[in-house]
Amino acid sequence: MSNNNYQFQPPAVVYTTNRVNTSRQAPANIKSCSSLRYVNVIAAGDTLQISCYGTQFYFRTATAELLVRPLPGGVFSQYGVGEGLQLDESNTFSMVEVQNANAFPVVFELFVGFQGFIDNKLIIASSLYPQVAYPTYPTPNAATSVAINDLSATKFADINGSEWYALARVAIIISNLDTGVTMLLQESGSLVANGPAVAGIQPATSLRYDSSGDFSLNIGGAVINAVVSEIYTVIAA
């Protein structure tokens, strides 16, 4: 015999997730499911805390390997460029700690969030990480020595005042404007004109030297009639 008072009740539907807990309740929704990128420089031995919800992180670039742990419950593991971690939604983290165990500062760009990251760097790397000139010694006859220190993993301003994080040096450009003096690209901190050198710059010529590391110019105490710049692969600060 049918019961005319019975009305069919459709089951409740949870649109955000199809999982329930032991009490048959849907888990709380995470209000912000965005994905962000973080660009910074971390000093040697420092730990940087990034407050963010997410299920994955990924290093788009880094000048050296770094230690990362998601919190709560994570442990530090080492990651480099193109490496990261993908977690289940049940293990969503609320903070990421980045630690630099190296003896030098490291510049990095970290993608953090929920959505997957599409990596086409090999196609568009030049637009993501342009090459920018740093005006090392922009005014001729302004000093008796020029320090050409590698600025990788530091912030610098270009000749127009725009700020950048240096990933790696591409080249050193030296234009010797003197018509009678040969200059030597010497070891860092040289106080003489004829110290240990890696290259020479003939009078009224220019040199492009593709190298990392620290160097200097000195012609024995006289002012240096040259223009020096360095080209770096960078991230906008």
Confidence check: pLDDT of 6 > 70? no
**144-175, pLDDT tens digit by residue?**
999 999 999 999 999 999 999 998 999 999 99
Residue with the bigger pLDDT between 117 and 62: it is: 62
Strand partners, 36: 112
- pLDDT category at 3 given cuts 50, 70, 90 is very low
Give me the pLDDT at residue 13, please.
40
Give me the pLDDT at residue 15, please.
38
**181-224, pLDDT tens digit by residue?**
999 999 999 999 999 999 999 999 999 999 999 999 999 999 99
From the list 59, 61, 46, the residue with the least C-alpha distance to 85 is 59
- Delineate the domains of the chain, giving CATH numbers in brackets: 36-126 (2.60.120.510), 129-236 (2.60.120)
Tell me the whole-structure pTM to 2 decimals. 0.64
Contact predicate 67/103, CB 8 Å: no
Give me the pLDDT at residue 102, please.
92
> Which of 87-91, 113-117, 171-175 shows the lowest mean pLDDT across its residues?
113-117
